[in-house]
Structure formats: C-alpha cells, structure tokens
Amino acid sequence: MDNWLTVYGLSAICIAMQFSSSRAGFLERNYPPSVSEDAHMTTLELLAKYKYPNEAHFVTTSDNYILGMHRIPRPGAQPVLLVHGILDSSATWIMMGPQSGLAYYLYDSGYDVWMGNSRGNTYSRNHTSLDPNEDSAFWNFSWHEMGIYDLPAMIDTVLNVTRFAKLTYYGHSQGSTSFFVMASKLPEYNDKVHLMNGFTPVAFLGHMKTPTFHLIITKVLIFTGSNEAIELYRHSHDNMHICLLSVLSMRFCLYYLFSAIGNNERELNKTMIPVIFGHLPAGCSTLQIKHYLQLTRSGRFHAFDYGAKINRRIYGRLDPPDYPIGRITAPIALYYTHNDPISVPEDVQRLANQLPNVVVNHLYSNPKWNHLDIMWGASMRFRTHPHILAISRQFEKTIENEHSFDLRI
C-alpha cells in the first residue's frame, strides 16, 4: 500500500493552494537544474541520462491488460524482478539517483534488472479493447487481479526472455500483497522464485495507524459508489508544481506525506523532493484502496468483498474467502520498520506466523525508519542494500545443504 505518499493528494493540494502565495520560479530558485530535469523524465529517460542501458517491454496479461516493463539489461546474468507499491511505478526504484536506487545497485552488482508496472499506473494504462479514459470497465480491478494476472505475466516474460528457470523478487508494500495473492492462488509460481524480498509487506491491516488513509477512503466513498471502479490520482506534473508553489505549499505536502508513512525527515534527501512529487502519484483504481480498507475492517487477508449477494455468486459463500497463504512455499524475506503506520510490526508478525517458509523476519532497530525509508532513505545504500543482496545471493546459489545459509543481518 505503498506509497500512500500521494494522500497529500486533493486535500493537501487544496489547502496548499489556499494558504500559499504562488511565486513563479520557486523550483528553479531552490533546486539544481538536474533535479528539475529528473522530475520531468520517464523511467527510461532517467536510465539513459545516467548512462545505464535500458529497454521497454510490453506484456499482455491473460485478461488483456497491456503492461509496461522496464529493464536494465545484463544478458546472461541472474534476473531480478522489482514491483512497486500502490500509486507508484517503476521510477521508484531509480528516481533517487544512482547512488541510492536499489535497481542501480542490483545492476551494478551484476544482475539483469526488470522493473514491473502494475495495471493502471503511468506506464500500464493500456488494454487490447478498453480505453482507460473512456471505459470505466478498465478500472474494474484491485490488487487481487495484479496477483492473479499481472505478476504471472511479468514473471513469465522475464524467464522467457532470459531463459532462466527462476528469478529473485523484490516487492514493496502492494508489490508484496500481490505476490502473496499469486503465490497462494497459483502455487506453480512458487517454483519460479529463488526468494521473495518483501519491503514493508502488507497483508493484515488490523493495526494500521494512519488517519490520512481513512481521510482518502472517505473521499473515495463520497464520490463513488461502494463498488464503483474509477481512476484515482492519475499522474500529472501539476501535482509537483502545486507542491512547489512556495515553502508553505511544500511543507503542507510533506506534512501529509509524513502523516501517511511515518515522520522521518532525517532519511529524506530534501534535494530530491521535486523528483518525488514529479513521479508520484502514478495512478490507481479506487477498488485497490477499497480492498485495503476492507482488510482494516475485517482483520483478515481476504478476496474482495462485493457484498453477500455478489459474494455468493462469485465465491459460493456470503463472505469473501481468505487467501490460503499457508500454501506459499517460496522462501520469503520480510523487512519492516517500527515507525510505519501502514505495515505495522504486529501485523507483519502475524503474517510471518502464517507463512510456512519465512527465512528472514527482520524488524529494523532504528525507531524512526518509516514505510518508504527502505526504498528511498538516504542511508539505505550502505545500511540495508548489502545485507539484503547477500541473503538473496545465498538463495540464488545451487547448494545441496539448505541449512548452510547464514541469514544473519
């Protein structure tokens, strides 16, 4: 659920516009030209700017959505697949720059790096017959469909192109949720994954603490029907410009950001604020958010609740079934933080207790790290990335004695 960053969204924007005095040139006066440039670039343009090889691949799912994938190719090397959170995109893995982004680090460490884009975001607004701008049916999905259709299509594409039998998976927030859906409902995909690395993983939400989540949900329910599917927070550079009208408007946007993900300005590279607001929000369906809301109310990890009548038709029962996460056999590494109001440690521990093959269950000791610090934190390159990579490499090796793994971090 990552990237509730965008809950600064409409509410914060309105407040910022009312209380800030628009002064043209604020961005230009306060940030280096290269930062403004990065804020307006696509994922592939960023890779090209920083001299990394890059490719775009387009994948059609079995239910006819066309997804954009971005690759930093290293032919013959072990492939890895990185999947973003809600309202985010492939840019999240590189937009903080070559000295910070995990995708750069993995490529520089010898990997063939693939970055997915889930249906409905900036790079995956395509379908064989539906127009996202005209057909509301395009938006009739939640993260359930991402797990059932998007991830299998991405994984199969990576393995078919690279001719490897397995890949290593990195998923942030919703990128972990959709993996748990896939691995529990399509068990054959467990055998295609060396290791699943879940960053601030989301499944159970009974202890979620962020009030801004409920604010955004209230807005969604007011403007849509209970199960109406529409686009929410489509990517636009207007968001960046509004948040950078003045010092005051920027502070309002950052206030809503931190109220959603946990306050930790120490790890935020403030020079890169325009880049963050330039790439996010990247768009989603209202049903993704409503599905998460259902989990906060039920205390369970279950399929979408359409109401008793439709549930009976779809599921053969009045309430939606739980995802059978006890069937997940792929090795799972969980990385999470104390200061995360979304992926709360109590909920992650409940998840870990129900998954049968958790090989790493690591709650970082720093009390300030939040929902996005593992992704964007200024110190992550030397404080987390090497350890995560070392563990991944152990699972990528062909070793007879699996108990020889040293999983200490």
Q: What angle do CA 177, 381, 281 make, to 5 degrees?
A: 45
Q: Rounded to an integer, what distance in angstroms lies between the CA atom of residue 375 and that of residue 381?
A: 10
Measuring CA to CA, which residue among 87, 99, 110, 111 is closest to residue 175?
A: 87
The two three-digit tokens of residue 336, written as one number = 């999470």
CA 100, CA 93: separation in Å to the nearest integer? Answer: 9
Cα–Cα distance measured from residue 89 to residue 122, given in angstroms and rounded to the nearest whole number: 7
Kindly provide the b/e burial profile for residues 214-252, where b requires at least 16 CB atoms within 10 angstroms of the residue's own CB: ebbbebbeeeeeeeebebbbbbeeebbbbbbbbeebbeb
Reference 381, options 114, 96, 171; nearest CA is 96
Q: Strands (DSSP E) along 116-248, which ranges?
A: 126-127, 167-172, 193-199, 231-232
Concerning whether 173 is annotated as a catalytic residue, the answer is: yes
Q: Is 115 helix (H, G, I), strand (E, B) or coil?
A: strand
Q: Which of 38, 112, 305, 340 is catalytic?
A: 340
Of the listed 173, 176, 343, 392, which one is catalytic?
Answer: 173
Neighbours of 361 (CB within 10 A): 17
Determine the distance from the C-alpha atom of residue 333 to the mean position of all C-alpha atoms in its chain, rounded to a whole number: 16
Selecting among 70, 347, 371, 373, the annotated active-site residue is 371
Rounded to an integer, what distance in angstroms lies between the CA atom of residue 201 and that of residue 191?
21
Say which residues have a Cβ less than 8 Å from residue 353's Cβ, sequence separation at least 6.
none
- What does residue 369 show for φ and ψ, rounded to 5 degrees? -60, 140
Spell out the SS3 assignment of 289-318: HHHHHHHHHHCCCECCCCCHHHHHHHHCCC
Give the CA distances from residue 362 to residues 71, 186, 312, in Å, rounded to whole numbers and listed in that order: 29, 26, 39
Active site residue 214: no
At 80 the three-state DSSP class reads: strand
Cα dihedral 94, 95, 100, 104 in deg (nearest 10): 20
Tokens (6 digits) for 178 = 């959709």
> Which residues are catalytic, by number?
173, 340, 371
